[in-house]
Amino acid sequence: MKSLQYTAYGVRPVVADIPKPSPGPGEVLIRVSGAALNPLDVKIGAGQVHDYFPIAFPSVVGTDLAGTIERMGPGVAGRKVGDAVLARTDPASGGALAEYAVVPVSSLVAAPGAVPLPAAAGLATAAATAWQVVFEVADVQPGRTLLVHGGAGGVGGFVVQFARRAGARVVTTASSAGAALAGKLGAHEVIDYTTTDFRTIVPHVDVVVDPVGGATEAASLDVLGPGGLLIALNVPPNAERAAARGIRAEFLFHTSDADRLAKVAAAADEGLEIVVDRTVPLEDAAAAFDHLAQGHAKGKVIVRP
């Protein structure tokens, strides 16, 4: 079967033929309909998260996939051949960007029926991370104000939608090219960060969601008062600097959880929008990987084997 593979750290992944895998006990073989690329895939390929997710080369890229069950291994119950499913694999194992993938049955959830199956792969990391942000870490309540940086991005767009559903007032930063999309997803106010300092528009918010870090994190502290919450998604925040202002700062590193993913899939059936930047065949996956790495994607990049 064809797959997209890492061959060494810091080297562009390549499309290569590998043997079709077989499911073992408690596993299923999935015919992949769509796989979604994530910034984490870029970091893994660059060796930036080697201490957390070491990989053995060659290694198939990707964690997020949607498809149908092709075959079941010994001891699998509760599923059947032909079921449409959604899963996130262990980042150190990868395996999503291929024609077939073997996944533990415990990681599977029923795919949402209201969206095309290939696009559903875009939920597995980005939407589930946003769910963690809004409902588990921030515990957003009606009337609170959230500032979401990158509201047209993969995670940011889902944070905007979930926070709006939770009754929050949602403000987001975006480029001029992403402003209309962020507004369409439900942001009450969109600030063009290329022309405007967000601190002059929103002097006080309750929660900041920051996928950037650095200067953006430092500036975000200026709009959070005592008791405010900064949730960092890219790099651990400066907790001491935040604590000196009476602000709680947390680093959220997404972990897979089938129960959470099932809630996200249900939200997709209820109208949660999956923004797809582009859908490409597996033969063009390396170029799509480059597109994501350069930070150009608005929404999810989906690869269809």
Structure tokens at 225: 């008062």
Lowest mean pLDDT of 25-34, 98-107, 287-296, name the range.
287-296
Please tell me the pTM assigned to this model.
Answer: 0.95
pLDDT at 147 over 90: yes
pLDDT at 213 over 80: yes
Report the 10 Å Cβ neighbour count for 107. 19
Give the closest residue to 280 by CA, choosing from 132, 74, 118: 118
Q: What's the pLDDT tens digit per position in 280-298?
A: 999 999 999 999 999 878 8
Q: What's the pLDDT tens digit per position in 148-170?
A: 999 998 999 999 999 999 999 99
- pLDDT for res 298: 84
- pLDDT for res 255: 87
- pLDDT for res 277: 93
Q: How far apart are CA 142 and CA 5, in angstroms?
A: 45
- pLDDT for res 265: 98
Q: Which residue has the tokens 């090219």?
A: 177
Mean pLDDT on 261-280: 97
Quote the mean pLDDT of the chain: 96
Give the closest residue to 95 by CA, choosing from 56, 47, 50, 48: 56
The pLDDT confidence band at residue 191, using thresholds 50, 70 and 90, is very high
Q: What's the pLDDT tens digit per position in 52-62?
A: 999 999 999 99
Mean pLDDT on 219-233: 96
Q: Which domains does the chain have, with CATH numbers?
A: 2-125+270-304 (3.90.180.10), 126-251 (3.40.50.720)
Residue type, 154: G
- pLDDT for res 156: 94
